[in-house]
Amino acid sequence: MIALENIALRQGSFELSDLSLELAAGEYGVLMGRSGCGKTTVLEAVCGLRNISGGRIILGGRDVTQLPPAERGVGYVPQDRALFPTMLVREQLAFALVLRALGQAEIGGRVHELAQLLGITESRDRPPDKPSGGEAQRAALGRAPAHPPSAPCAGAPLAALREGLLAAGWRPRQRVHRETGVTILHITHSPSEARRLAGCHFRLADGKVTRDENRSCA
Amino acid sequence: MSGSKLSGFRVASDKPFLIGLGVLGGSYLLIIGAMVLADVVFLNYSDRPVLGPEMVRQGRYTGGEVVVPVKPGRSYYFRKGKNDAGLRLGQQRIASDGLFLAAGDRAVLLPHASGRPITASLRPEARVMQIAVTNHVATVTTGVAHGLLWGEFIRVRGTGEPGWDGVREITDTATNQISFAVTGAAKPPAKLSLSKPNPLVQALRSRDIRFSIKLSLISCTLTTLLSLWVAVPIGYMMSRFEFRGKPVIDTLLDIPIVLPPLVVGLSLLILFRYMPEWLSDAVVYKWPAVVLAQFMVACAFAVRTMRVTFDQIPQRFEQVALTLGCNRRRAFWRVIMPQARGGLLAAGTLAWARALGEFGPILVFAGATRQKTEVLPTSAFLELQAGRTEGMLAVSLIMIAAAVVVFIIARTLGMKRIFA
């Protein structure tokens, strides 16, 4: 689950306060809002890349407000993918696992599984500038939840968060969601993309988050 | 009216603009190329004859032609100046520089116009009169004063004896005697001819310049490593963090670039007056001073380069790495540094090249002591001071070669990254 409880944020003259949002475990949430309304700031706060001045952030039933990004157990898939240019696709998928000092065999197995799930087995051994746009998108997605939801960050959900939109990316992401059961908060400024995505819809406007009651979260 | 203007819209040709770019860029490139090429071409790589004292008195062509008595059968070296038309020897006329054999007993120097100072030079070639050898030291007596100095190098040829021919260091001199060590037989050879090797050979053989090459290479490499060691953290900090007083630090970092190099040296010298005695004794006018002087200037350039490098790597990479389980240190080493390799190489090369050319601060802070704090620019300066412009040119060529080698290495390493 992902829950923001009355969080307050400040960035220069920009300010958000008393912001709340709740997503049950395994749900797919879409956060919409116009450019500049603070979506990215909220996203960075959830990831722990930005300090909040008030409220609590709860991921998987755990209060992570004071935890560093590494210990929150979130996966972050930015719009520009941010694949590490110096690593092969395979190494990107293994990155989080290597950091957790898993065994060679286990890493290999998980990377293989992930590549199959995402359909990027072909481009595994290529540098990230070589796979096509869609493959890069999937690789970025695969890198994010590649660390095991069990093991060191036990019980924590994996939230593949994403700001903005790349048309090629949404289909495999929903498949990942279905097959892994992670909680996903998808952030976009495009209403047309949002319409194509199933799940709970939230709108961020004028410093408030409102839930779109017309759509079911199923 | 406006309709016809819109439909008939034309843009002016791009040619003048592109030609302008080409001419401006091209002329600069041409100067760069010509400058380096001129050094390489200008140096005369052949051996020089060993010459006696000047026979032409620098003065005026008061009566037009000037008669210089010569000995028939001996060879002389003539160098034509800009006020001279040439040399007449009986029926023979010599209008170019070089050695010639005197046929008659008088040579006549021909002026371009009378009333101008003589600029030509006529010197006898030193002939070997006598060869002696004691304890593997050969002493050669020449017919005239040879003007060679102790520590210079001489090429011995035509002896036909093993262990005699080759470039030898002059170990002792008198007005018309030179001594050098030989490894061959104790019996002196019947004949022997001497010549001065070209300045490049002289420079590369000289113990002083060998020391300065070594010190230059070592100090520049040390400076580069130190500079990168400092420039990487400063560049990263300036690129990634916002804090109070950042503009002040930014200005401070530029001071070594803006300050005149001599002032950097002087400031260091004065600073070390306040240091504990053991420290200033160990640094000032010793080799650490060379490294410190180079470091102060080179590091500022490395910092600039590293900052730009980190500025160009989006912060997003670190953010992603942080969420994937890195702390800042791991994100830096695993994600950022691999991407900064090109910039690191550029910063290193720049620092190395700056350090190689550093002269002013070294002169002030480390002095110019031979075999102690002499680096290549100091050698060039000392050669110039001694009036040996050719020696200076030779040292400059060594520096050019060193710089070219380092740049090729850096480029190849950089290429590997691109083609990998």
The ipTM is 0.83
Describe the strand order of the beta sheet including B166-174 as a list of residue ranges.
B48-49, B193-196, B153-157, B166-174, B177-181, B137-142, B128-134
Identify the pLDDT of residue A179: 61
Residue B248, CB-side half-sphere exposure with 13 Å CA sphere: 3
For A150, the 3-state DSSP assignment is coil
Count of Cβ atoms closer than 10 Å to residue B113 Cβ? 9
Average pLDDT, chain A: 74
A115-119 long-range contacts, Cβ below 8 Å, gap at least 24? A115/A89, A115/A90, A115/A142, A117/A142, A117/A175, A117/A176, A117/A179, A117/A180, A118/A142, A118/A172, A118/A176, A119/A172
**First CA to last CA across chain B, in angstroms?**
60
Distance from CA of B315 to the nearest CA of A (A): 10
Q: From the list A68, A76, A99, which residue is nearest B320 (CB)?
A: A76
A151 — pLDDT class (breaks 50, 70, 90): very low
Report the number of distinct structural domains present in chain B. Answer: 3
Same domain, B59 and B174: no
Q: What is the pLDDT of residue B222?
A: 97
Q: Is the pLDDT of residue A199 over 70?
A: yes
Among B144, B163, B197, residue at a domain's last position = B197
Give the torsion sign (CA, B323, B324, B325, B328): negative
Residue B163 lies in a domain: yes
Give the number of other CB atoms < 10 A from CB of residue B263: 14
3-state secondary structure string across chain B = CHHHHHHCCCCCCCHHHHHHHHHHHHHHHHHHHHHHHHHHHHCCCCCEECECCCCCCCCECCCCCEEEECCCCCEEEEECCCCEEEEEECCEEECCCEEEECCCCEEEEEECCCCCECCCEEEEECCEEEEEEECCEEEEEECCCCCCCCCCEEEEECCCCCCCCEEEEEEEEECCEEEEECCCCCCCCCCCEEEECCHHHHHHHCHHHHHHHHHHHHHHHHHHHHHHHHHHHHHHHHHHCCCCCHHHHHHHHHHHHHCCHHHHHHHHHHHCCCCCHHHHHHHCCCHHHHHHHHHHHHHHHHHHHHHHHHHCCCCHHHHHHHHHCCCHHHHHHHHHHHHCHHHHHHHHHHHHHHHHHCCHHHHHHCCCCCCCCCCHHHHHHHHHHCCCHHHHHHHHHHHHHHHHHHHHHHHHHHHHHHHC
Residues 6+ apart with CB under 8 A from B359: B261, B377, B378, B381
For residue A183, the 8-state DSSP code is: -
User: Residue B1: is its pLDDT beyond 80?
Assistant: no
pLDDT at position A32, please?
82
B240 and B142, same structural domain? no
Query: How high does pLDDT run on average in chain B?
Result: 89
- Token pair listed for A187: 């952030």
In Å, what is the CA distance from A135 to each residue of A140, A160, B140?
9, 17, 82
Amino acid at A2: I
pLDDT at B130 over 70: yes
- DSSP letter (8 states) at residue A55: E
Q: Are residues B98 and B157 in the same domain?
A: no
- Going from N- to C-terminal start, the domains of chain A cover 2-211
Whether the CA torsion B294, B297, B303, B308 is positive or negative: it is negative
To the nearest whole angstrom, how far is the Cα of B321 from the nearest Cα of chain A? 8
**Among B330, B326, B320, which Cα is nearest to A43's?**
B320
Model pLDDT, residue B378: 95
Q: Best interface-test mutation with A: which of B316, B318, B323 has the largest number of A CBs within 10 A?
A: B323
Chain A residues within 8 Å of chain B (Cβ atoms): 44, 47-49, 68-70, 72, 74-76, 78, 80, 82, 84-87, 95-96, 99-100, 143-144, 147
CATH number of the domain at B181, please: 2.40.30.20
> Is B218 in the same domain as B85?
no
Residue B202 domain-assigned (yes or no): no
Per-residue model confidence (pLDDT) at position B73 = 87
Q: Pick from B153, B169, B197: which residue ends a domain?
A: B197
Which chain B residues contact residue A157 at CB under 8 A? none
Task: Read off the pLDDT of residues B282-341 as tens digits, 9 standing for 90 and up.
Answer: 999 999 999 999 999 999 999 999 999 999 999 989 988 988 888 999 999 999 999 998
- Is the pLDDT score of B3 beyond 70? no
**CA B318/CA B312 separation, integer angstroms:** 13
pLDDT > 70 in chain B, percent: 96
Contact yes or no for B322 and A74 at CB 8 A: no
- Do B340 and B308 belong to one domain? yes
Contact B322 A69 (CB under 8 A): yes
Q: Report yes or no on B33 lying in a domain.
A: no
Q: Is the pLDDT of residue A1 over 50?
A: yes
- Select from B320, B330, B341 the Cβ nearest to the Cβ of A99: B330
| 3 state DSSP class of A210 | strand
Cα–Cα distances (Å) from A107 to A112, A177, B217, in that order, read 8, 21, 46
The mean pLDDT of B386-406, rounded to a whole number, is 91
Q: Does residue B39 lie in a domain region?
A: no
CA distance A175 to A18: 33
Q: Of the ranges A153-162, A192-201, B158-167, which one carries the lowest mean pLDDT score? A: A153-162
CA–CA distance, A20 with A210 (Å, rounded to integer): 9
Decide if pLDDT at A195 tops 80: no
- Residue A165 DSSP label: -
CB A77 within 8 A of CB A166: no
d(CA B155, CA A140): 70
CB proximity B316 to A under 8 Å: yes
State whether B72 and B213 are in the same domain.
no
* B319 contact A CB<8A: yes
State the pLDDT at residue A160.
Answer: 36
pLDDT of residue B111: 86
| DSSP β-bridge partners for residue B302 | none
Strand A200-205, strand A75-76: pairing: unpaired
pLDDT of residue B2: 56
Chain A contact set for B334 (CB, 8 A): 95
Expressed as residue numbers, the domain containing B159 is 128-197
- Identify whether B251 is part of a domain: yes
Residue B329, chain A, CB below 8 Å: the answer is no
Q: Report pLDDT digits (tens) over B163-216.
A: 888 899 999 999 989 999 888 767 888 888 899 998 899 899 999 999 999 999
Residue B43 lies in a domain: no
Q: CB–CB of A158/A75 below 8 Å?
A: yes
Q: Which residues in B lie closer than 8 A to residue A80 (C-beta atoms)? A: 314, 316
| Domain termination site, one of B197, B220, B241 | B197
**Shared-domain flag, residues B61 and B141:** no
B chain contacts of residue A86, beta-carbon cutoff 8 Å: 335, 338-339, 341
A166 band by pLDDT with thresholds 50, 70 and 90: very low
pLDDT band at A165 (very low <50, low <70, confident <90, very high): very low
Mark whether B174 and B161 lie in a shared domain.
yes
Q: Which residue has the higher pLDDT, A136 or B267?
A: B267
Nearest to B346 by CA among B297, B302, B403: B302
Chain A residue at shortest CA distance from B314: A82
Asked if B233 and B377 sit in the same domain, the reply is yes
Question: B62 pLDDT exceeds 70?
Answer: no
pLDDT of amino acid B418: 47
Query: What pLDDT sits at residue A86?
Result: 87
Pick from A76, A78, A79, A9: nearest CA to A37: A9
Q: Residue for token digits 């740049």?
A: B407
pLDDT-derived band at B4 (thresholds 50, 70, 90) equals: low
B316: nearest CB among A69, A82, A95? A82
Residue A136 in contact with residue A164, Cβ under 8 Å?
Answer: no
Which pLDDT tens digit goes with each residue over A48-102? 888 888 888 888 778 888 888 888 877 777 777 788 888 888 888 888 888 888 7
How much of chain B exceeds pLDDT 90, in percent? 54
**Contact at CB, B322 and A84, closer than 8 angstroms:** no
Provide the pLDDT confidence category of residue B19 given band limits of 50, 70 and 90: very high
Is there a contact between B311 and A57 (Cβ–Cβ < 8 Å)?
A: no
Q: Kindly report the CA angle at A186 between A185 and A189, in degrees rounded to 5? A: 140
Tokens of B404: 């070219």
Q: If we measure between CA atoms, which residue out of B81, B107, B211, B205 comes closest to residue B153?
A: B205
User: Tokens in use for A115?
Assistant: 């590549």
Please give the helix or strand (H or E) that residue A54 lies within, else none: strand A54-59
Cross-chain Cβ contact B326/A99 below 8 Å: yes
Which superfamily does CATH assign the domain made up of A2-211 to? P-loop containing nucleotide triphosphate hydrolases (3.40.50.300)
Do B120 and B136 share a structural domain? no
